[in-house]
Structure 1
């Protein structure tokens, strides 16, 4: 048993090392990855923000800045490696963060009743997205989310604090708390969020300008709603694709209608989560991670934007789910990994075809987004069936009621 476990660990490290060297080769441009240069965000946008943030202000004049105040921290993080230029330091820190996530999943997977599958999902899933992973700060946000879910098993307050910190990095980690049944995580999250928010508000004016920054955004070309316009262009739709708010978006007739429909779907997703939370009764240790995975999937597929880096979040959450042997998120995870592979094909490899809405680009988007929708639907159904008890029919007069079943609860 010990020898088999050691062999598995060496294999895991070997695969992680080889794939991450390949990612570094691409972002350092020792070999040019086909398609648009994904490192321009770091070398241009992030570095420009760095200069502004270093002076104690947010880059409010840049429409691309649409992030919560704690996002300043990963943007400023290359200062930790002053011997390297900004972009090189960022890529190295992204790789180190990736390694920390692997270490967390590997250690947690060695505990009794848990599985190394989570570490393998992370190891194999991240490189499927190509060099974009190391050219965005989302891997750092995902590391906080993974640490929060793993901490939630025994330290509910740390779960809350990390979820709050993560939400001030990029909002979505607030969804990590949807599956917790305890008050401690929510209280810790509230205290942490208020403390960090006050610190940024006092020291850096404009910390919460991001709340209205995305108000005028359209429909990004990779989103689910964008498929309407990709098809409509073949039937004479008069709109166009423009660089808007830092991404390629559709601009033209009926874009506002589709964007509003996407927001309504997000509201419906929130309503489903609320209904699930009110009806759920059976909570096992893996429910916290499963619920977070489903919640982020729901809000990703209904978003007006489905950028490639969004899948980094989902891969991290799926990895935590599969760390638990009892989790039923295996099939959604497989679908997610397939969607990740299609994502690197549509961006950056054949992004020109996506922007042009030609047959190849539209086919890739239909397949990628279809897989995400399927993963969302399947995971939501499985979460419901695992946690919401079936309603038994009322007993007839004189008939004994059915026996009660024991309910599992999360550890306090």
Structure 2
């Protein structure tokens, strides 16, 4: 009874904050045509692009020969879902379902945060951090895929199998949720999570292969993507325009990309850095000796940060992923990622200044646009470095004299066999 009285106040405050901020996001969505909010560019993706794909998917086929279709098969299920609410327009139904998934994430984080030894900071970060992107989260399906990643991480401690299934479904919507399984403790937990993820992924792929034509058409279009203007490489090339670089910006493959000399080299550098980051993450997993309840969440945030920073595409909606994963980390009092969560929030706010508020300046490579983009990306890069450094240190034994893979238990960090994760 005492615990209920202690937690009911913060929970009610979170509910009030969610209702207030989501109401404001809906108001901004209605006024999307305002020039400062992008002049309609935010909502256009749902009302035109997603709706067009819905028409193709409803006839039993994935879009083919469409350079904008670059998503795995389960993305089709998300885009078809608004059809479940036929009394609403496609756009209205999409927003309603997105808000429902947002509420589900908030409820899951809140429920976890009210458990003994846990924290409501995660729910607070998600509730207050998502509106930093204004109305953008309501007009992209990244809230849905983030929800699957969040549910996967929250389920891993009690049921690795369920965590694996959620991760597989998320990966079939937008690939990156496969990374959330990186930090599962060695042994039974990893076998359960990874095994069920593979099984669920194979079964889902089989379903889409039987139910739709051309389920793998997205693979061909992914390979053609270049260097988006908001990526690290794009920022460097945009700054180079002030030093006489002859290239420029062009809309292609569903994004504003840079074209001209050295673009291919920038793309190759991004892919190389991604490979290096993958190798570092594998090295971390091989050498890690300590797992706490926070390790899977911390590793997931670190992995997605590293892959985001080195990507050829860093769209503003990618920040939804990072806010969600940072929120899961903060549900644990033993997370190593608190400074990273703060940096993610700052980068999220700057992303809004970039798009939709000053995107024209970024495209035109004005000094203000370049500096905004540079600040956002440098903060993301710093967050990635801090995240990996803290993850590495947290997984190493406290004493150099300890050489076993199962070190002496500490109050906040237990060896794998001491964790009840099965």
Shift of 1:258: 0.2
> Which residue of 1 is the match for residue 408 of structure 2?
405
1:33-72 alignment, distance < 5 Å: 34-37=37-40, 38-72=42-76
Counterparts of 1:211-222 in structure 2, within 5 Å, are 211-222=219-230
Which deviates further from its counterpart, 81-90 or 199-208? Answer: 199-208
**Deviation of the 1:230 alpha carbon:** 1.1
Can you list the C-alpha shifts for 1:145-170, whole angstroms capped at 9, x where unaligned? 11111110100100111111110000
Counterpart of 1:87 in structure 2 is: 91
157-166 or 9-18: bigger deviation: 9-18
Measure, in 1, the Cα distance between the counterparts of 2:31 and 2:337: 36
Which residue of structure 1 lines up, in the alignment, with residue 260 of structure 2? 252
Seen in structure 2, the aligned counterparts of structure 1 residues 393 and 146 have a Cα distance that, compared at 3 Å, is closer
Counterparts of 2:170 and 2:115, CA distance in 1:
25
Q: 2:277 aligns to what?
A: 269
Are 1:112 and 2:119 matched, yes or no? no
RMSD: 1.8
Unpaired segments of 5 or more residues in structure 2? none
Give the conservation status (yes or no) of the 8 Å contact 2:289–2:395.
yes
Which residue is equivalent to 1:188? Answer: 196
Asked if 1:11 is matched to 2:30, the reply is: no
Task: Please state how far the C-alpha of 1:391 moved relative to its aligned partner.
Answer: 7.5
1:146 is aligned to 2:154: no
The runs of 5 or more residues in structure 1 that have no matched partner are 396-400
Cα separation, 2, equivalents of 1:394 and 1:122: 38
Matches within 5 A, 1:351-366: 351-366=359-374
- Alignment TM-score, normalising by the size of structure 1: 0.95
In the alignment, which residue of structure 2 is the partner of 1:383?
391
Match of 1:398 in 2: none
8 Å contact 2:126–2:324 — kept in the other structure?
Answer: yes
Q: Secondary structure at the match of 2:88?
A: coil
1:36 is displaced (CA, Å) by: 3.8
The alpha carbon displacement at 1:383 in A equals: 0.5
Structure 1 residue 203, shift from structure 2 partner: 2.0
Asked if 1:316 corresponds to 2:320, the answer is no
Q: Output the CA distance in 2 between the equivalents of 1:41 and 1:313.
A: 19
Q: C-alpha deviations, 1:232-290, integer Å up to 9, x for none?
A: 11111111111110000001111000001000000001000000010001011110101
CA distance in 1, matches of 2:224, 2:175: 18
Equivalences, count:
406
What is the alpha-carbon distance in structure 2 between the residues aligned to residue 133 and residue 316 of structure 1? 12
| Residue of structure 2 equivalent to 1:22 | 24
